[in-house]
Amino acid sequence: MERVLEDFVTAARTAGVRISISETLDAARAVETVGYGDRALLRDVLAVSLAKTAAEKQLLEDCFDRFFSFGFFAGAAEREPDRGGEDPSRIKVESSLVRMLMEEDRAGLIAAMTEAARLENLSQIRYLTQRNLFAFRLLSRMGVDDLDRQLHSMRAIDTPAAAAAASGLEAAKRYLVENVRNYVQNTYELFAGDEGLRRLEGELRLIKLSNIEQRYFVRIHEIILRMVKRLNDLSSRRRKRARRGVLDFKRTLRENISCQGLLFTPSWKKKKIDRPQFVVICDISRSVLRTVRFLLLFLYGLNQEIARIRTFVFCTNLIEVSDIFDRCPVDEALSRIQGGADIPLIMGRTDYERSFGDFRRNYLDAVTRKTTVLILGDARNNYNDPCPDHLKAIYDRAKRLIWLNPEVPAFWGAGDSEIRQYSPYCSVIRECNTLNHIERLISALIRS
Amino acid sequence: MKEKYQEHLASIPVLEEGFRSVAYIADRRIATTVYLAHHLEKPILVEGPAGVGKTELAKATADYLDLPLIRLQCYEGLDEAKALYEWKYGKQLLYTQLLKDKLDDIISRKNGFSSAMEKLHQYDDIFFSWPFLEPRPLLKALQEKDGAVLLIDEVDKSDDEFEAFLLEILSEFQVSVPEIGTIRAVTKPLVFLTSNNTRELSEALKRRCLHLFISFPEAALEREIVRRRVPGISERLTRQIVKFIQDVRELELKKVPSISETIDWARVLTILHAEVLEPVLVRDTLNTFIKFEDDIAVVAEKLHQLTATAVRQ
């Protein structure tokens, strides 16, 4: 009986319920106390000991219904009575399987099937391609070879009665195979349903964003939302702890000197975590656009209380777009900027000198001692003069300046890439072209 | 748990009946959880919207099993001193002052500082002994010889440090007071933790407990609750009230009325000697179960429609 519970816990974990070992042990003890007799009671007991949030309870109950469903071999009555009026009991019963099929012994068939599944370790199924193999193994265990032998011997006899009996037996065999296949499919969905999806997600985090196809955009969207939610949860909890502090003894003593050392007013150590301020300057020429989109999706997903962001985009010249991003979602904002006629952005060849110059002239007051400046671009200036003085001015004012380059480091400095000229004025230059990079970067930025 | 409640907790139907006898109408899941909690000796974490009967469950259990109910209300800043035990500092100081002469006697008879100290050491445990210990709810629960029902209310309002401290108590049911020693529970109490889900509880605490989610009941159950809690109410009025409230719960409100509000409204209508729901009556008593101005406006719009459906019951 523990096997059943173990399998159920595995199935529940696949469905997304987080179950630890101690909870499994609790569930085992609880089920021992209560017994397996009553289905509704068992459901309640498992829900109470395994699922610890309302959402998990729902998932667990669905999983329970699927796992303990015994709706197989139900259509026994609808088999084609293809016997030409022959009495079915005339078919010689040569094996227990044939007997069960002929007598439509549903319970017996289900018991035989689940026993075969247990012996063949059907709960280990992981891949879609294993279904046929497992179905074959299950059928062998159940004794389908004997059935085949009987069928063969029946066909060898050349009488109409034998022919009718043989077709009846064939119909029974088809029925058996179909139900076993359904059972294997159901088990596959319970135990390995999300395996493919999970692997896809792992891959998506590592693929270069510039290479991702359009059809994966929605998935990436979801992954980003999940990462952002995690970051939000982590950061908000930390902030709460910082509001209250421990007793600052030295300051207390100092403040209470006037009371002759009596600790009249205690004072507390206050750790103030400031909301980090970001200024993001993005190159939106086509080569970098994908990465820009996902990075902005990430940043704007962060809770308002965690970071303040001002966004600028440039191609040939530079403009501020924070208000557009505040008002619309990231995708819409980006398409508005690219296509918008009312936005004074010139989409010609990338000109870093003019863009940085624009920033220095018009927006340098956005950068203060506490600001982190993020520049996202590949530093390819089309062989124009890079003029790093503008960047120097920004770097001197900011707390730090981080350059994110979507190209692989091997290409930095090759061709018209001016990253080498800009590097003295950057605190750090990072490669940023997969989701993992973005996530690591943002969590490091928020933490510091 | 002593033998005298063995028969009270013999099986789940017995428990359900028992709850009914103390005017708490529980569904099967609640009775199952309490049954398991007793037999597995695990605490129960009860979650759900406000007013649904979480605290009532603990009270009903204490009533039914005839055990004392020890209640600890959590808030941010609750620490060990207020939850576990504290020394009666005032008493200690007072006694030292009163026994000052006696102390002088003891010390002065011996000459020499070290011998005086030695003499004092023999007595130093007197001021840190049981009479000077002020037990707070958690320690009280451990000390009850026949067991108790411990209700830790609104655990999500406390902070992380308190949760960590609670974890230790809930798993071992023992506490060590440095001056006195380890105090073990003679009979393990039945522990209820309630939470309103204002924040995520730590995983460790959740894993240690059995999790019970009480949501709004179905109509039949709610009718039974109203019948038990408001004696003398007519069957017709009960049906109408319950139907009305169930419909109101479907609306988009800031705070959805829960069971305690239903009971309050039923009581108010009984006091006003109402036999049937009428729009005027409903409008006048709307603020018994709706607590926000915006919500009152929303319900008032649909008032006639809802009353008509309810009256048809």
Instruction: Look at chain A and report how many structural domains it folds into.
Output: 3
- Tell me what the mean pLDDT of segment A191-203 comes to: 74
| Eight-class DSSP state of B187 | S
Residue A279: beta bridge partners?
Answer: A310, A373
Residue A84: what pLDDT?
Answer: 38
Answer with the residue of higher pLDDT: A60 or A235: A60
Q: With 0-12 CB in 10 A as exposed, 13-18 as middle and 19+ as buried, what is B264?
A: middle
Which residue among A41, A48, A54 sits closest to B210, beta carbon to beta carbon?
A: A48
Identify whether A267 is part of a domain. Answer: no
Residue A281: beta bridge partners?
Answer: A312, A375
Q: Are residues B202 and B237 in the same domain?
A: no
- CB B276 within 8 Å of CB B311: yes
Identify whether A209 is part of a domain. Answer: no
Residues of B with CB under 8 A from a CB of A: 12, 28-29, 32-33, 35-36, 39-40, 42, 45, 47, 160, 200, 206-213
Query: Does residue A81 have a pLDDT over 50?
Result: no
Tokens encoding A422: 């800009």
Residue A271: what pLDDT?
Answer: 67
Q: Are residues A64 and A172 in the same domain?
A: no
Last residue of a domain, one of B114, B132, B150: B132
| Eight-class DSSP state of B188 | P
Interchain proximity B42–A26, CB inside 8 Å: yes
Q: How far is A308 from chain B (nearest CA, A)?
A: 25
| Eight-class DSSP state of A268 | B
Residue B3: what pLDDT?
Answer: 63
Question: Which candidate in B36, B156, B208 is best for mutational testing of the A interface (most A CBs within 10 A)?
Answer: B36
- Tell me what the mean pLDDT of segment A167-177 comes to: 85
pLDDT, tens digit, for every residue of B278-304?
Answer: 889 899 999 899 989 888 988 998 888
- CB B75 within 8 Å of CB B159: no
- CB A200 within 8 Å of CB A154: no
| Eight-class DSSP state of A343 | S
Cα(A30)–Cα(A50) distance, rounded to whole angstroms? 11
Interchain proximity A41–B33, CB inside 8 Å: no
Cα(B119)–Cα(B105) distance, rounded to whole angstroms? 11
Q: Are residues A106 and A11 in the same domain?
A: no
The dihedral built from the CA positions of residue B93, B98, B103 and B108, taken in this order, carries a sign that is positive
Q: How far is A235 from chain B (nearest CA, A)?
A: 14
Q: Are residues A80 and A147 in the same domain?
A: yes
Q: Are residues A7 and A35 in the same domain?
A: yes
Q: Does A112 touch chain B if contact means CB atoms closer than 8 Å? A: no
Three-state SS for A43?
A: helix
Residue A93: what pLDDT?
Answer: 65
Crossing angle of helices A160-192 and A131-142, in 10° steps, is 130
Q: Nearest CA to B37 among B63, B66, B5, B68?
A: B5
Identify all chain B residues contacting A268, using CB atoms and an 8 Å cutoff.
none
Q: Are residues A277 and A344 in the same domain?
A: yes
Interchain proximity B206–A20, CB inside 8 Å: no
Which residue among B40, B160, B200 sits closest to A30, beta carbon to beta carbon?
A: B40
Instruction: Tell me the CATH number at B9.
Output: 3.40.50.300
- Tell me what the mean pLDDT of segment A264-285 comes to: 78
Which residue among A22, A34, A54 sits closest to B207, beta carbon to beta carbon?
A: A22
pLDDT, tens digit, for every residue of A52-63?
Answer: 888 888 889 888
Residue B177, phi then psi, degrees to nearest 5: -95, 120
Cα(A36)–Cα(A48) distance, rounded to whole angstroms? 15
Residue A85: what pLDDT?
Answer: 39
Crossing angle of helices B100-109 and B89-98, in 10° steps, is 60
Cα(B177)–Cα(A415) distance, rounded to whole angstroms? 74
- Tell me what the mean pLDDT of segment A37-63 comes to: 88
Last residue of a domain, one of A148, A176, A192: A192
Answer with the residue of higher pLDDT: B27 or A96: B27
B92: containing domain: 85-132
Q: How many CA atoms lie less than 13 Å away from A108 in the CB half-sphere?
A: 12
Instruction: Tell me the CATH number at A422.
Output: 3.40.50.410
- Name the CA dihedral angle for A212, A215, A216, A219, rounded to a multiple of 10 degrees: 160
Chain A residue with the nearest C-alpha to that of B76: A244
Q: With 0-12 CB in 10 A as exposed, 13-18 as middle and 19+ as buried, what is A177?
A: middle
pLDDT level of residue A50 (50, 70, 90 thresholds): very high
Last residue of a domain, one of B159, B187, B213: B213
Q: Are residues B165 and B194 in the same domain?
A: yes
Cβ neighbours around B83 below 10 Å, total: 20
Chain A residue with the nearest C-alpha to that of B48: A54
Cα(B245)–Cα(B256) distance, rounded to whole angstroms? 9
- Tell me what the mean pLDDT of segment A343-348 comes to: 80
Cα(A47)–Cα(A43) distance, rounded to whole angstroms? 6
Residue B85: beta bridge partners?
Answer: B135
A127: containing domain: 75-192
Cα(B42)–Cα(B65) distance, rounded to whole angstroms? 17
Q: What is the pLDDT along chain B (313 residues), one digit of tens a residue?
A: 456 677 788 888 889 999 999 989 888 899 999 999 998 889 999 998 888 889 999 999 999 999 999 999 998 888 888 888 888 888 888 888 888 877 777 767 666 777 777 777 777 677 888 888 888 999 999 988 888 999 999 998 888 888 888 888 888 888 888 888 888 888 889 999 999 887 778 888 888 899 999 989 989 999 999 999 898 899 999 999 999 999 999 888 888 899 999 999 999 999 999 888 888 989 999 989 998 988 898 899 888 888 888 888 7
Which residue among A40, A45, A52 sits closest to B36, beta carbon to beta carbon?
A: A45
Largest distance between two CA atoms of chain B: 96
Interchain proximity B28–A54, CB inside 8 Å: no
Question: Which candidate in B28, B39, B167, B210 is best for mutational testing of the A interface (most A CBs within 10 A)?
Answer: B210
Continuous segment of H or E residues that includes residue B120: helix B113-123
Q: How far is A191 from chain B (nearest CA, A)?
A: 24
Q: Quick one: how far is CA A17 from the chain centroid? A: 14
Continuous segment of H or E residues that includes residue A207: none
Q: Are residues B15 and B54 in the same domain?
A: yes
- CB A94 within 8 Å of CB A153: no
Question: Which candidate in B12, B16, B27, B29 is best for mutational testing of the A interface (most A CBs within 10 A)?
Answer: B29
Cβ neighbours around B204 below 10 Å, total: 14
Cβ neighbours around A258 below 10 Å, total: 9
Query: Does residue A90 have a pLDDT over 60?
Result: no
Which residue among A23, A33, A54 sits closest to B213, beta carbon to beta carbon?
A: A54
B3 Cβ contact list (under 8 Å, min separation 6): none
Identify all chain B residues contacting A26, using CB atoms and an 8 Å cutoff.
40, 42, 210
Q: Are residues B68 and B150 in the same domain?
A: yes
The dihedral built from the CA positions of residue A172, A173, A179 and A180, taken in this order, carries a sign that is positive
Interchain proximity A44–B213, CB inside 8 Å: no
Amino acid at A32: E
The dihedral built from the CA positions of residue A109, A111, A114 and A117, taken in this order, carries a sign that is negative
Q: Are residues A326 and A380 in the same domain?
A: yes
Amino acid at A181: R
Identify whether A305 is part of a domain. Answer: yes
Q: Are residues A8 and A82 in the same domain?
A: no
Which residue among B29, B35, B210 sits closest to A49, beta carbon to beta carbon?
A: B210
Interchain proximity B211–A241, CB inside 8 Å: no
Last residue of a domain, one of A192, A211, A236: A192
Q: How far is B87 from chain A (nearest CA, A)?
A: 20
Which residue among A30, A52, A233 sits closest to B211, beta carbon to beta carbon?
A: A52
Q: Are residues A61 and A87 in the same domain?
A: no
Tokens encoding B209: 């407990």
Identify whether A231 is part of a domain. Answer: no
Cα(B175)–Cα(B198) distance, rounded to whole angstroms? 29
Identify whether A145 is part of a domain. Answer: yes
Q: Are residues A176 and A127 in the same domain?
A: yes
Interchain proximity A41–B210, CB inside 8 Å: no
Q: With 0-12 CB in 10 A as exposed, 13-18 as middle and 19+ as buried, what is B145?
A: exposed
Please, what is the Cα angle at A356 between A351 and A362, to 5 degrees? 125
DSSP states along A395-427: HHHSSEEEEEE-S-GGGTTSTTB-HHHHGGG-S
Identify whether A414 is part of a domain. Answer: yes
Q: Does A420 touch chain B if contact means CB atoms closer than 8 Å? A: no
Instruction: Look at chain B and report how many structural domains it folds into.
Output: 3
Q: Nearest CA to A359 among A325, A385, A404, A397?
A: A397
Q: Are residues B120 and B23 in the same domain?
A: no
Q: Are residues A289 and A397 in the same domain?
A: yes
Q: Are residues B41 and B146 in the same domain?
A: yes
Identify whether A214 is part of a domain. Answer: no
Tokens encoding A60: 């667990």
Crossing angle of helices A144-156 and A131-142, in 10° steps, is 70
Amino acid at B244: F
Q: How many CB pairs under 8 A join A and B?
A: 51
Tokens encoding A17: 């319920």
Last residue of a domain, one of A162, A192, A222: A192
Tokens encoding B131: 């009479």
Which residue among B32, B160, B207 sits closest to A41, beta carbon to beta carbon?
A: B32
Q: Are residues B182 and B150 in the same domain?
A: yes
Residue A180: what pLDDT?
Answer: 87
Identify all chain B residues contacting A54, using CB atoms and an 8 Å cutoff.
47, 213
Identify whether A252 is part of a domain. Answer: no
Q: How many CA atoms lie less than 13 Å away from B14 in the CB half-sphere?
A: 9
Cα(A337)–Cα(A329) distance, rounded to whole angstroms? 12
Last residue of a domain, one of B132, B153, B168: B132
Q: Nearest CA to B49 among B241, B206, B254?
A: B254
Q: Are residues B77 and B178 in the same domain?
A: yes
Cα(A347)–Cα(B287) distance, rounded to whole angstroms? 61
Which residue among A20, A34, A45 sits closest to B207, beta carbon to beta carbon?
A: A20
- CB B200 within 8 Å of CB B158: no
Q: Are residues B181 and B57 in the same domain?
A: yes
Q: Are residues A55 and A132 in the same domain?
A: no
- CB A368 within 8 Å of CB A335: no
Q: Are residues B301 and B225 in the same domain?
A: yes
Identify all chain A residues contacting B200, using CB atoms and an 8 Å cutoff.
233
Q: Are residues B197 and B223 in the same domain?
A: no
- ipTM entry: 0.76
Q: Does A24 touch chain B if contact means CB atoms closer than 8 Å? A: no
Identify all chain A residues contacting B12, using CB atoms and an 8 Å cutoff.
41
Q: Are residues A22 and A42 in the same domain?
A: yes
Q: Quick one: how far is CA B162 from the chain centroid? A: 17
Largest distance between two CA atoms of chain A: 119
| Eight-class DSSP state of B3 | G
Q: Are residues B49 and B175 in the same domain?
A: yes
